[in-house]
Every structure is written in C-alpha cells, then in structure tokens.
Amino acid sequence: MSTKNCTAAQTTLGKRVSLSGTGVHTGLSVRVTLCPAAANSGVTWVRSDLPAGLGEIVGRWDRVSNTRLSTVLANAHGASVSTVEHLMAALRATGVDNVRIEIDGPEVPIVDGSAAPWMLLIAQAGIVSQAVRRRAIRVLRPIQVDDGDGFLRVSPFPHERFSVEIEFADPAIGRQLYSFEPRSARFAEDIAPARTFGFLADIEALRERGLTLGGSLDNAVVV
C-alpha cells in the first residue's frame, strides 16, 4: 500500500450536535457530542467522565481492542469506548474526516440499533470543507486476513467499494451478500437503517455475562 494526496478537501462538522441514549450492553445512559475538529486531526473520542489526559482515544484501526459483539476502541491508559461501529460508519459514509467526539460514559448509545440516527445528527451539524487536501491509502496488491471462518480481502480497484457476506444457521438470517459504495445514496437508503439483530436463545446467557443489559425490541431485532 502507499499514500497519496487527493484533489478533495478534508472536512469537519459545521457545529456541535448532541444525542443521548442508552448503551445496549451496559444499559447506562450516555450523552454524545460531535464537535468540529482541526484538519489532519482525524476522529478523536474523548471520555469526558474520566480525568483530563486519560480519556482521549484515537478512532483508528490500530486502537481496536475487541470486536466481540461490538467494536471497542482503547488507549494506552486503559480507557475505552465500545459499540462505536454505527457512528463510525455514519462518519465514513458522510465523508467527515475530522471530528472530536465527547462521550460521558463507556458505550455509545444504541439509539434504534442502526446508523440512521447518526446520519441525521451529522446532517443537522452540516459538513464544511477545510483548506487541506485529503490523504488516501492506495492498495497496490491484494491483501487477505483470515480469522476462523471469516476473512477480509482488500484488492486494487478504481474506487472504493465494499462487498460483505454473512451466514448464520438460523433461516431468518441465513446467508446474505451485499455490495455498495460507502458515499453513495445506497448507504443512506439500505445500510444505515439496517438494525442490530440478536438471537432469543442467546439473551439469557449474554445478560448473565453483563451484556445486552440495555437491549430491547426498540433497539434490536430479536430472532
């Protein structure tokens, strides 16, 4: 892989916007505020409930500490923020490069179980261009990472496109394959409203482990 400058400018939000809700696993009430950020700063999470200097977490792939049932980002001090995937997907789909995310708890609110509320919140903030060009990673050859029954393959392509496949034994989910471009209308129409799902048979065991404490039919599809 290599990096290159793009013709497009970096972007951030036009103003601060906030959303409150409940964490699907912790059951805690949390408030999230999305704030404009300087060019080249990227996505930065700030745990406002922790002492200054300890709660800043970079929203980047190499800060992922766990992906079991949700994506968790962590820093060297042990501070973490979980269930970041819907908000991170919405930021990527809307092309927001730089944002400071202030959160007063350990888990992002699940809201309705989809990325749609975050897409709406970003639209309310507005997106503004910055006087610095984006930098992008250019894939020069195929790369594949395998993990158990799953894999991720990245290949050279003229533009950004994702093909995602899942397969579950339950016929209500079964095998599904979907391809899309993140910044296309298809993301807003088809991907963002897709909701978190879980299996009824797993709920009791998960709650015994201290998970899905905030889960309900208002924020998840139960099969």
pLDDT in tens, the chain (223 residues): 656 667 799 999 999 999 999 999 999 999 999 999 999 999 999 999 999 999 999 999 999 999 989 999 999 999 999 999 999 999 999 999 999 999 999 999 999 999 999 999 999 999 999 999 999 889 999 999 999 999 999 999 988 899 999 999 999 999 999 998 887 788 899 999 999 999 999 999 989 998 899 999 999 999 9
Provide DSSP, 110-156. -TTSSSHHHHHHHHHH-EEEEEEEEEEEE--S-EEEEETTEEEEE--
| CA–centroid distance for 135 within its chain | 20
Task: Supply the pLDDT for residue 109.
Answer: 98
Q: What confidence score (pLDDT) does residue 185 get?
A: 80
State residue 127's pLDDT score: 98
For 83, half-sphere exposure in the C-beta direction (CA atoms, 13 angstrom radius) is 27
For the domain made up of 2-222, the CATH class stated in words is: alpha beta
**What's the confidence (pLDDT) of residue 184?**
75
How far is residue 44's CA from residue 56's CA, in Å, rounded to a whole number?
7
d(C-alpha 114, C-alpha 108), whole Å: 12
Cβ-in-10-Å burial (0-12, 13-18, 19+) of 155 comes to exposed
Contact 92, 115 (CB under 8 A): no
- What pTM did the predictor assign? 0.92
Q: What is the pLDDT of residue 45?
A: 99
CA dihedral 11, 40, 102, 197 (to 10 degrees): 70
- Enumerate the domain spans of the chain: 2-222
Q: Do residues 12 and 36 lie in contact, with contact meaning Cβ atoms separated by under 8 Å?
A: yes
Give bridge partners of residue 137 from the DSSP assignment: 3
For residue 7, the model assigns a pLDDT of: 76
**Chain centroid, CA 71 distance in Å:** 8
